[in-house]
Chain A
Amino acid sequence: MYKIVDKRQLNKDVDLMVVKAPFVSRKCEPGQFIILRADDNSERIPLTIADYDREEDTVTIIYQVVGYSTQVLRTKEIGESVKDFVGPLGQPSELKKHKRVLGIAGGVGAAPLYPQIKKLHEMGVEVDVIIGGRSDEYIILEDEFKKICHNIYFATNDGSKGKKGFVTDVLNDLLDNGEQYEEVIAIGPLIMMKAVVSITKPLNIPTAVSLNPVMIDGTGMCGGCRVTVGDETKFACVDGPDFDGLLVDFDECMRRQNMYRDQEDHVCRVGLEGGQKNA
């Protein structure tokens, strides 16, 4: 069992949780993730390691409540435990000592982006960041990012913070203004990453993305997380989750991610009671 030592709600949909997990905290690097099972009858769900503390043996995760398993996770309080917590999984991000990098985050994508930007900052790289969300309320980690990035821009659907529109609108503005970046790191919904790449690809700006296909084991055993990158099939859990965005087949990813859409809707309707009746 893995004890929850801290927990906070960041907004209506997103929580931050700090979990005691020595095997993970001792080794993890930015870009890696964990898989957890909230309790005995839960799914295995992957979540990026948003932060870690090697001295305290803790790992921070930030999750958006979208369906059954994240709802169960939300019911867990400080002092309680999650049943299983395995990691670190995946390849650490390949962070290069560029002069200038642009980070782009959509929604809860700010969580996985944060450790990468933090590391780049420690490496002496100058980083600008664009954070997008539905509205002001959904922008997370603003203070944390402000401490480590050079410029921070916002985009919200309703214009309640920063530019009214999408992160790609801000990106276009920056590029139009002649800003130069050696690399873009984009993390968020697939549709957002696809839109970012549609801008950076013609300009040949290297763009790293973090893919989140449906996973089970996270160790390369099931093959369910396969994605097409260039002409190759890769397993996101062991070869990724970061990939060269210019080569990713986003349409296939989106299609595969929705494979269980109708069944998941069903569980959500059944709700927590349905799932826990044989807990």
Chain B
Amino acid sequence: MPNMSSEKVKMPEQDPIKRGKNFDEVALGYTLEQAIEEAKRCLQCKTKPCVSGCPVNVPIPEFIKLVEEGKIEEAYKTITKENALPAICGRVCPQESQCEGLCVRAKKGEAVGVGRLERFVADYYMENVKTENEEIEQLDIKVAVVGAGPAGLTCAGELAKKGYKVTVFEALHELGGVLMYGIPEFRLPKALVAKEVQTIIDMGVEINKNVVVGRSITVDELLEEGYKAVFVGSGAGLPKFLGLEGENLNGVYSANEFLTRVNLMKAYDFPSNPTPVKIGKKVAVVGGGNVAMDAARTALRLGAEDVYIVYRRSEEELPARLEEVHHAKEEGIDLKLLNNPTKIIGNDEGWVTGLECIKMELGEPDDSGRRRPKAVEGSEFVLSVDTVVIAIGQSPNPLIRQTTTGLNVEDWGGIIVEEETMETSKDYVYAGGDVVTGAATVILAMGAGKQAAEAIHKKLLELQV
């Protein structure tokens, strides 16, 4: 019996008041019964519109069918043929603009909860099924991967599946990239990231943490050392600032610093963990993407009483995932829309006391198709705050482009690649993920990693014959 309800089966969630004070996951996930019920909402469309919205082509109706039949292990295998990190993607993909955005059911009511089902399958599998590794025929060919974010890990996993000897070089002491240091625990539990990353390592990938490529070793040296190809997935980690007066005052953070202190260095557990973070009573977060939402909700959980999001366009243009905006509002984050910061104000001791903003209105659409915000003259006002978090985006770290010969880059720093193959201007060097696109999404980074793995495989095979 198909389930013709116009709404998704409700996802159990932590109470908004309670969760504003803890770092436990907000959305609790379906039970087996709820998942089967939701799976029955899928019409099994022959044309599979949902799949065309998925950057890595997960066979969506097929896996949903298997869920409906209660065959969760098979459903997991169906997903992981195309997507190595389903527990993560089920939680953080912007489904509303990908698979679910194209779902036929969305025309009348809510789309099928593809993300929720994907998450369920991955969680259920990890909890209930013992994994065993298949024997892979080993090739004696070394490939290096720079960066252990979603792009690098996916590329490494795909190449390992094909039998390559893959070594990942990661600058930090943890694997996962933004998944580990950026996205907070309450949205993506770190133990789960570690588990999903482990499934990739178990394919036989060698890991070298604490190696900063460009400093500890360069891309050129990797090639000299016998790596036949190098994939660069170093992400977009360089924080942008506004260039405003007062930006170096105490109490002004980049979102990266704020979130890294809390997530990677576990400052939320201070002083049991020795890394501190300073959070005031009133916090302004500048920006409107996932990063801004995460910073705001983290500040709330660390005890801030008033948390504002300052964003220069209107709610419609907020780039964050719908679900995160919804959750943030529920938790009491105050969206100060159509406002642009103009100055950060401090006291004599050099601590932030306020954020001066100017009101904005929307004019004609600009190149991005969104209506261009314009300042309303003379409308400045001061938001009284003691912490400011700047979350207006990141660009690629310059280290690799500065230390690699023959690598062509855009003026904003992104590495230039062939769209099909992810090959850079340098022979045998490939790149993908945020380092190519600028700050984007987990799934696009994974898609790029996968595409590059295919291309590397093809190229190195050619070499052998």
Chain A residues within CB distance 8 Å of chain B:
23-24, 27, 37, 41-44, 68-69, 83-89, 216-217, 219-224, 226, 228, 233, 238, 252, 255-256, 258-260, 263-264, 266-267, 270, 274-275, 277-278
- Give the docked Cα–Cα distance between A255 and B346 (Å): 12
**Known pairs A27-B217, A256-B250; A220 contacts B275 (CB<8 A):** no
- A216 x B261 contact (CB < 8 A): yes
Does B43 interact with chain A (Cβ within 8 Å)? Answer: no
Encoded as 1 (CB less than 8 Å from any A CB) or 0, chain B from 309 to 345 comes to 0000000000000000000000000000000000000
* Chain B proximity of A274: nearest CB distance (Å): 6
Residues of B near A216 (CB, < 8 A) are 257, 260-261, 265, 275
Does B270 interact with chain A (Cβ within 8 Å)? Answer: yes
- Give the docked Cα–Cα distance between A217 and B264 (Å): 10
Question: Which chain B residues in 15-48 approach chain A with CB under 8 Å?
Answer: none
Residue of B210, B248, B275 near A86 (CB, 8 A) is B210
Q: A23-B217, A220-B397 are in contact. List 20 more A-B contacts (CB 8 A).
A: A24-B216, A43-B275, A84-B209, A86-B171, A86-B211, A87-B212, A87-B216, A216-B260, A216-B265, A219-B397, A221-B260, A222-B256, A223-B254, A233-B241, A233-B248, A238-B399, A260-B278, A264-B276, A267-B271, A274-B271
5 contacts between A and B (CB under 8 A): A41-B272, A68-B274, A220-B397, A228-B248, A274-B271
- Give the docked Cα–Cα distance between A233 and B349 (Å): 20
Residues of A near B251 (CB, < 8 A) are 259
* Chain A proximity of B441: nearest CB distance (Å): 19
* Chain A proximity of B437: nearest CB distance (Å): 18
**Known pairs A43-B274, A43-B275, A275-B272; A89 contacts B260 (CB<8 A):** no
- When C-beta atoms are compared, the residue in chain A nearest to B174 turns out to be A84
- A252 x B272 contact (CB < 8 A): no
Residue of B217, B238, B257 near A224 (CB, 8 A) is B257
- Give the docked Cα–Cα distance between A258 and B270 (Å): 18
**Known pairs A221-B239, A221-B256, A226-B248; A266 contacts B212 (CB<8 A):** no
7 smallest beta-carbon distances between A and B, as pairs? A263-B276, A222-B257, A223-B254, A86-B210, A221-B237, A23-B216, A255-B350
Residues of B near A238 (CB, < 8 A) are 398-399
- Give the docked Cα–Cα distance between A43 and B260 (Å): 12
Encoded as 1 (CB less than 8 Å from any A CB) or 0, chain B from 251 to 285 comes to 10110110011000100011111111010000000
* Chain A proximity of B235: nearest CB distance (Å): 9
- Give the docked Cα–Cα distance between A44 and B257 (Å): 13
Does B434 interact with chain A (Cβ within 8 Å)? Answer: no
- B274 x A69 contact (CB < 8 A): yes
How many B residues are at the interface, by size bracket? 35 or more
- B215 x A252 contact (CB < 8 A): no
Does B172 interact with chain A (Cβ within 8 Å)? Answer: yes
- B215 x A89 contact (CB < 8 A): yes
- Give the docked Cα–Cα distance between A88 and B214 (Å): 10
- Give the docked Cα–Cα distance between A263 and B302 (Å): 14
- Give the docked Cα–Cα distance between A87 and B217 (Å): 10
- B273 x A217 contact (CB < 8 A): no
Does B108 interact with chain A (Cβ within 8 Å)? Answer: no
Residues of A near B272 (CB, < 8 A) are 41, 274-275, 277-278
Residues of B near A258 (CB, < 8 A) are 250
- When C-beta atoms are compared, the residue in chain A nearest to B216 turns out to be A23
- A220 x B399 contact (CB < 8 A): yes
- Interface-centre pick from B253, B256, B260, B276 (highest chain A CB count, 10 A): B276
Residue of B253, B270, B275, B399 near A219 (CB, 8 A) is B399
* Chain B proximity of A6: nearest CB distance (Å): 21
- When C-beta atoms are compared, the residue in chain A nearest to B346 turns out to be A255
Residues of A near B350 (CB, < 8 A) are 252, 255-256
- When C-beta atoms are compared, the residue in chain B nearest to A44 turns out to be B265
- When C-beta atoms are compared, the residue in chain B nearest to A83 turns out to be B173
**Known pairs A83-B173, A274-B272; A222 contacts B260 (CB<8 A):** yes
Does B185 interact with chain A (Cβ within 8 Å)? Answer: no
- Interface-centre pick from A27, A252, A263, A266 (highest chain B CB count, 10 A): A263
- Give the docked Cα–Cα distance between A115 and B241 (Å): 34
Residues of B near A252 (CB, < 8 A) are 248, 350
- Give the docked Cα–Cα distance between A275 and B269 (Å): 10
Does B96 interact with chain A (Cβ within 8 Å)? Answer: no
- B247 x A221 contact (CB < 8 A): no
Encoded as 1 (CB less than 8 Å from any A CB) or 0, chain B from 198 to 218 comes to 000000000011111001110
- When C-beta atoms are compared, the residue in chain A nearest to B270 turns out to be A263
Residue of B238, B247, B271 near A266 (CB, 8 A) is B271
- Give the docked Cα–Cα distance between A264 and B270 (Å): 10
- Give the docked Cα–Cα distance between A252 and B208 (Å): 37
Residue of B208, B237, B270 near A220 (CB, 8 A) is B237
- A275 x B256 contact (CB < 8 A): no
Encoded as 1 (CB less than 8 Å from any A CB) or 0, chain B from 80 to 111 comes to 00000000000000000000000000000000
Residues of A near B241 (CB, < 8 A) are 223, 233
- Give the docked Cα–Cα distance between A188 and B240 (Å): 30
